[in-house]
Homo-oligomer: A and B are copies of this chain.
Amino acid sequence: MEHGAVRGIAFDLYGTLIDVNGVQEACGTVAQDPAAFTSLWRQKQLEYTFLRGLMGRYEDFWQVTEASLRYTLKRFSLQATERDRRRLMEAWLHLPPFPDVMATLPKLQGYALAVLSNGSPPMLEGVLANSGLTPSFRWVLSADAAKIYKPSPKVYALGPEGMGLPKEAILFVSSNAFDVAGAKAFGFPVCWLNRAGVPLDELGLEPDMMVRSFGELLPALER
């Protein structure tokens, strides 16, 4: 990869800039094991985006997140009031950014920065505003415009379209291995932010670079 060719950076949001484990606190009031509850909720949320994509039955990410919450409550045989459910859903609008994101984003302002996420426009707007990240990004691009989810190439195509740059000039950064594969298949140069230190998925698609924390991104780009 020729790093010098990178003029813009498109970031995945959930798990990359924003810590989805932040919903655990809200889950603590309904679930005995908030970590297991959060993990299944997130797993089903992603699974439903994949399945809806393959079935050609798009629903926006707020609806998918609500549906996966309903499933998770049933699976754990938990009762939740309408008010509980609303509070759990609203936790998605108040997820915290990872600390290394806040420290590093100001140093990346020499690049055109975008968010490119599965989240619906109101979800993205809410969580970015509440976390103080809104001013860092020139573009906030939602899969909702493509009416399908990652890793469909239609979603990644929103990057070059929205940012007015060729895909070769946009570095795509994600912590999610399936997203790394999808972005690479589309044709972006890709950086895998492997926070969890897990093996790469065996999809025959490798990122151009891998870092373990957000802070390593700028040195890796300048290398």
Contact = CB atoms under 8 A, between A and B. Distances in A.
A153 interface: yes
A219 interface: no
Contact of A50 (B54, B185, B199): B54
B202 A54 contact: no
A48 B202 contact: yes
A182 B48 CA distance: 12
Tell me how many chains of this kind the complex includes.
2
A139 interface: no
Given A153-B56, A185-B57, A202 B67 contact: yes
A223 interface: no
A68 interface: yes
B55 A153 contact: yes
Interface residues of A, number: 34
Contacts of A50: 47, 50-51, 54
Contact of A203 (B56, B67, B74, B153): B67
A61 to B, nearest CB: 14
A55 B182 contact: yes
A151 interface: yes
B151 A51 contact: yes
A203 B55 CA distance: 10
B153 A51 contact: no
Contacts of A153: 55-56
Nearest to A46: B47
A71 interface: yes
Nearest to A156: B55
A203 B52 CA distance: 8
Nearest to A155: B54
Given A47-B178, A178-B47, A151 B199 contact: no
11 contacts: A44-B202, A48-B202, A50-B51, A50-B54, A51-B182, A52-B203, A54-B54, A54-B150, A55-B182, A55-B203, A71-B199
